[in-house]
Amino acid sequence: MSTEPNTTGAGTEAPQSHAFQAEVARLLHLMVHSVYSNKDIFLRELISNAADACERLRHAALTDPSLLGEDTEFGILLEADEAGRRLVVSDNGSGMSRQELIDNLGTIARSGTKAFMDRLGEGKDGTALIGQFGVGFYSAFMVAEKVDVISRAAGSSEAWQWSSDGLGAFTVEPAGDDADVPARGTRVILHLKDDAASYARPATIERIVRAYSAHVPVPITLVVLPAEDGEESEPRRLADGTALWTRSKSEIGEEEYREFYGHVSGQFDEPAMTVHYRAEGRHEYSVLLFVPSMKPFDLFDPDRKGRVKLYVRRVFIADDVDLLPAWLRFVRGVIDSSDLPLNLSREMLQHNPVLDAIRKGVTNRLLGDLQKLSESDAAAYEKVWETFGPVLKEGIYEDFERKEKLLGLARFRSSSDSGQSWRSLHDYVADMKENQTQIYYATGASLEAIAASPHLEGFRARGVEVLHLSDPVDAFWVQMVEGFEGKPFRSITQGAAELDAIPVSETESDADKKAEAGDTDIGLVTAFLKETLGERVSDVRSSSRLAESPVCLVAPEHGPDRQFEKLMSRQGDGRARLAPVLEFNPSHELLSRLSSALAGSGDKGKLADTAWLLFDQALILDGEVPADPVAFARRLSAVMGRGL
Q: What percentage of the chain reaches a pLDDT higher than 70?
A: 85
Q: How confident is the model at residue 55 (pLDDT cuts 50, 70, 90)?
A: confident
Residue 373 has pLDDT above 60, yes or no: yes
**Segment 294-308 mean pLDDT:** 89
132-136, 195-199, 221-225: which range is least confident on average? 132-136
**280 among the known binding-site residues?**
no
On whether 371 is known to bind a ligand per the annotation, the reply is: no
Quote the pLDDT of residue 9: 42
The pLDDT, as a whole number, for residue 134 is 45
> What integer pLDDT is reported at residue 545 of this predicted model?
87
Residue 45, annotated as binding a ligand:
yes
459 labelled ligand-binding: no
133 is known to lie in a ligand binding site = yes
**pTM, 2 dp:** 0.70
CA distances from 313 to 256, 310, 332 (A): 21, 10, 19
Strand partners, 614: none
Q: Is residue 2 over pLDDT 50?
A: no
Higher pLDDT pick, 254 / 316? 254
pLDDT of residue 26: 67
Average of per-residue pLDDT values in the chain:
85
Cβ-contact 407, 426 below 8 angstroms: no
Q: How far apart are CA 270 and CA 178, in angstroms?
A: 45
Check whether 436 is labelled as a binding-site residue.
no
Q: Which fold has domain 244-379?
A: Ribosomal Protein S5; domain 2 (3.30.230)
Indicate whether 126 pLDDT > 60. no
Summarize pLDDT for 256-272 with one digit per residue, the tens: 999 899 888 888 899 99
| Per-residue pLDDT band at 311 (split at 50, 70, 90) | confident
135 annotated as belonging to a binding site for a ligand: yes
The pLDDT tens digits of the residues spanning 186-202 come to 999 999 999 999 999 99
Q: Is 186 annotated as a binding residue?
A: yes
Using pLDDT thresholds of 50, 70 and 90, give the confidence band for residue 34: low
* Of 132-136, 297-301, 326-330, highest mean pLDDT: 326-330
In the sheet where 439-443 sits, what is the strand order? Answer: 413-414, 467-469, 439-443, 489-491
Residue 68, pLDDT score: 94
pLDDT value, residue 166: 82
Confidence of residue 10 (pLDDT cuts 50, 70, 90): very low
6 marked ligand binding residue: no
pLDDT at 37 over 80: no
Q: How many Å is the Cα radius of gyration of the chain?
A: 33
> Is 92 annotated as contributing to ligand binding?
no
Residue 134 marked as a ligand binder: yes
Where does the pLDDT of residue 40 fall: very low under 50, low under 70, confident under 90, or very high at 90 and above? confident
CATH class of 511-555+578-643: mainly alpha
**Could you read off the pLDDT of 436-475 as tens digits, one per residue?**
999 999 998 899 989 989 999 989 988 999 999 999 899 8
CB 458 within 8 A of CB 547: yes
Cα dihedral 493, 498, 503, 507, rounded to 10, equals: 40
The pLDDT of residue 109 is above 50: no
Architecture of domain 16-239: 2-Layer Sandwich (3.30)
111 annotated as a binding-site residue: yes
Domain ranges of the chain: 16-239, 244-379, 511-555+578-643
Using CB atoms within 10 A of its CB, is residue 608 exposed (0-12), middle (13-18) or buried (19+)? middle
- pLDDT of amino acid 531: 95
Over the stretch 80-100, which tens digit does the pLDDT of each residue have?
999 999 999 999 999 999 999
Mean pLDDT along residues 133-148: 80
Q: Which of 191, 189, 213 is nearest to 143 (CA)?
A: 191
How far, in Å, CA of 440 to CA of 458, rounded?
12
- Residue 123 contacts by C-beta under 8 Å, 6 or more apart in sequence? none
